[in-house]
Structure 1
Amino acid sequence: MKLWTVSLLKDTILWVIFVGIGTLFKMNTIIKDKDYFKNAVKDNLKFMAILEFVIGLYNFSIWVELLIVPITAFVAILVGFTEKSNKYEKLYKLFNNILIFFGLALILRACFLAVIHFDEFATTDHLREFLFGPILSVLFLPFIYLMSVYMQYEDAFARVKFVLQSPERFSYARRKAFLKFRFDIDGLKRWANGLHRGKIKSNIDINNDIELIKQRQIIEKNPPIISETEGWSPYSAIKFLSNFGLGAGYYSAGYEDEWKAESSYVKIGDSLLSNKIIFYVRGSERIADNLELVLSVFTPNKTYDYHADLLNISMVLYEKATGQMIPPKIANAILKERNVKIDEGQFSVSVRKSDWGNSTGSYDLFFCIGHKAGEN
């Protein structure tokens, strides 16, 4: 059986326009999604792809299509709008159930017609048409992967060139990075983002910097065991709040021998200016001894309880860090924005508010757990 015939010319053109070119326009998004390639393969092999193909074989008449498409599109928009707020929960369920009912109706209709007209359905042309898109998409993935690697190298080298400034040193750093990192984009980014102008004074410094990254990666795969009396393993601590989108990233050296990891900001609330929470892990090279959550409220809003969000995350952090429930005094301080500091065994726990002093009443609220071993 030939994979491609002239009958697939329309499918080929549509694939190139909507999948091929469309994917290239999404390269920046693909680069940020670590699971893109795994999910792309799954999407082309999953059962839903078969259903979509079968449904596509049995279209309605043009007049019915012109009636159904705008209605379903409008309902889909309503679903997207109502799911953002709890006050529209009943409407969201109604519109979502309408979409589900319509989808099931399409599936049942298509399956019924496929069974009734099985001889027309089970043809070589239909099999070829079904396999064409997924095969082309999977074969396209290696090109997309190489393109993503190239773009990330270009992005990393732009920063390296800015930091090093010397053309000769930059040329050496680029060659060394290619040899050492190859397809290790994670390591490449860590090295490029960690470069500081005053730190690199020779090619030896470049070698040492790259080797340091490789060593850290080895340690992260087999982190040392830290006893509870010493503090926390930084490689465990950075994952304490991953379920909230607050995974703290890479634990690395900062200024004045302090080691630190920090998460990306997570938006909370629905105000125009984003109110955010961020998570920090601090300590020495081997041990983390300070965990901190910071709630930044840009636009205070009495209709949204930011402190309840902070308390919810703080309770999880405290339990994972200490194995205990958060003290009621600390929980109350978070909800009431009060400055409190208490000792709980080998831990020091505090809540602190810092006003920005602006006209909108913006402020930061800090929740911190310190291990006393780090104070010695």
Structure 2
Amino acid sequence: MSQPAPPFPIPDQSQIGLEAFGFDLNNREIATLIYIALTILALLLWPKIRGSLGRLVKAAFHPKLTAINLVMSLYVTLCTALLALVGAWEWSNLKTTLLWWITAGFGAVFSASQIKEPKQAIRRQLRDVLTWTAVITFVAEVHSLPLIWELGLLPCIVLVSLMLGMAQVGKEHAILVGPLTWVLSFIGFGFLAFSVGGIIQDPIDFLAWHQLREFAGPLLLSLMFIPFIVGLAAVMIYETQFTSLSFRVQDEALLRYARCRALLVFGLDTDGAQRLTRAIRMMDSPDRAAVDAEIATIKRLKRVEADPPDVDPAAGWSPYRAGRFLESYGLATQDYHRSFNDWWSEAPSVKLTDRAFADRVSYYVSGTEHAATRLRLVVEASYQNDTEAADEAFRVRAQSLLAAVQATSATLPSHLLEDGQECTVVSRLNITVSKTIWGVERLGGYQRSLVVLHPAHVMTLSD
């Protein structure tokens, strides 16, 4: 009886060698390894850097990082085995697989810690994998230049790339972005043209099944890696949220219960878990019953958000629709939730320019559980910036907000932007525009705010 083929078919014993595992390095790979070795040697010979490298290596082998890397490696091994079962992987593809594991695999694990919403990982991975760049890069690396050329060009590419990165950050060097980009494009086109010339001379080698596996293997691994990155991003978000919560709640048993309940109820919906930890922080004496009640409230509010009900105009505005009144300016509010005695939501502040200390604009919606009754637009401006631009930005957004609430379609009167406070009533809506100065004139700034109160609004301490 014939034995089934193993997931990883062993190469012919008589032909085992570096080439059997894909380690027939081309000149570009040799040049890269030479420079990596020289860089490591230089760092080890530099006393000040050597100590930092030791701490870096120690941090890299932290128990939690080691556990993540081990699980990731096992997952990649499983994916490789599945590819081998369908004939999409062989031992001759080992070098390419290890290179993907070291670069793309560990890079994706690192990027998972930067993901705020696991669904972002799916879009990011698909965007990075399904591009023409992967095809062009693969074709350009089929054939490499002579070793002396590779050794000379590699440091030039690194230097130009660093200069381009610095030029993109500093506006004073923006004029160099175009020329440096053209230099990199010219070098890349040269690599591509040389490789294409080699392919034309020997098309049989390029069209071999081994080359197809070399191209498709990393792409398939990247696609198969998406579920792992999504799960890892969710686990990291849960860990961050509940670890920060431990400073407020000392009951470890309750925290474990809340984490398990959140995982079971919300799963990859980390927004629900974040809302839960926020609510627990505001509880005077949280317990399991309070956690269960808050989870039920969050689930109910998510259903309401998905299909917002109509709100009686006499009671106020729909808090979910009011939160999108200034969406065109990037000021869409987050979830509408209870905050002590009020219900409110806020939009993350938006910078008016690209400067490091740029003026910012914010938007807030508050009221009762079922209706928003107070809208507030705020611009924080500095005298060191363009105050006229900040005032104009405030004017434009204020007009849009007033038009959205159907208070008036006319332009905002200019006198309302002068110093002091102005209050008026339009269609029974109480509209207040104010300016508050802070600091000294040269180093300080001011805050302009527009507050729209619905007739149904009840004054609270937060007002």
* Greater radius of gyration (CA): 2
Counterpart among 26, 30, 45 of residue 115 in structure 2? 30
For 1:341, the equivalent position in structure 2 comes to 423
For 1:317, the equivalent position in structure 2 comes to 401
In 1, the alpha carbon distance for the partners of 2:134 and 2:271 equals: 32
* Residue 288 in structure 1 maps to residue 372 in structure 2: yes
Q: Which amino acid aligns with 2:445?
A: S
Query: Structure 1 residue 346: deviation in Å?
Result: 4.5
Cα distance, 1:73–1:333 mapped onto 2, change above 3 Å:
farther
Most deviating of 123-132 and 195-204: 195-204
Query: Structure 1 residue 217: deviation in Å?
Result: 0.9
SS in 1 for 2:436: strand
RMSD over equivalenced CA pairs, Å: 3.6
For 1:222, the equivalent position in structure 2 comes to 307
Query: Structure 1 residue 212: deviation in Å?
Result: 0.8
Cα distance, 1:25–1:353 mapped onto 2, change above 3 Å:
same
Most deviating of 181-190 and 64-73: 64-73
For 2:324, the equivalent position in structure 1 comes to 239
In 1, the alpha carbon distance for the partners of 2:160 and 2:406 equals: 48
Q: Which amino acid aligns with 2:374?
A: N
Most deviating of 32-41 and 18-27: 32-41
Query: Structure 1 residue 352: deviation in Å?
Result: 1.3
- Counterpart contact for 1:246–1:278, Cα < 8 Å: yes
For 2:221, the equivalent position in structure 1 comes to 136
For 1:5, the equivalent position in structure 2 comes to 90
Cα distance, 1:350–1:136 mapped onto 2, change above 3 Å:
same
SS in 1 for 2:360: strand
- Counterpart contact for 1:271–1:299, Cα < 8 Å: no
Cα distance, 1:234–1:114 mapped onto 2, change above 3 Å:
farther
* Residue 307 in structure 1 maps to residue 384 in structure 2: no
Query: Structure 1 residue 189: deviation in Å?
Result: 1.1
Cα distance, 1:307–1:246 mapped onto 2, change above 3 Å:
same
Cα distance, 1:161–1:53 mapped onto 2, change above 3 Å:
same
- Structure 2 portions without partners, runs of 5+: 1-85
Cα distance, 1:180–1:228 mapped onto 2, change above 3 Å:
same
Most deviating of 47-56 and 165-174: 165-174
SS in 2 for 1:322: coil
- TM-score, reference length from structure 2: 0.68
SS in 2 for 1:277: strand
- TM-score, reference length from structure 1: 0.82
In 1, the alpha carbon distance for the partners of 2:168 and 2:399 equals: 27
For 2:289, the equivalent position in structure 1 comes to 204
Count the aligned residue pairs. 373
Cα distance, 1:167–1:370 mapped onto 2, change above 3 Å:
same
Query: Structure 1 residue 69: deviation in Å?
Result: 5.0
Q: Which amino acid aligns with 1:287?
A: A
Counterpart among 84, 95, 100 of residue 15 in structure 1? 100
* Residue 194 in structure 1 maps to residue 279 in structure 2: yes
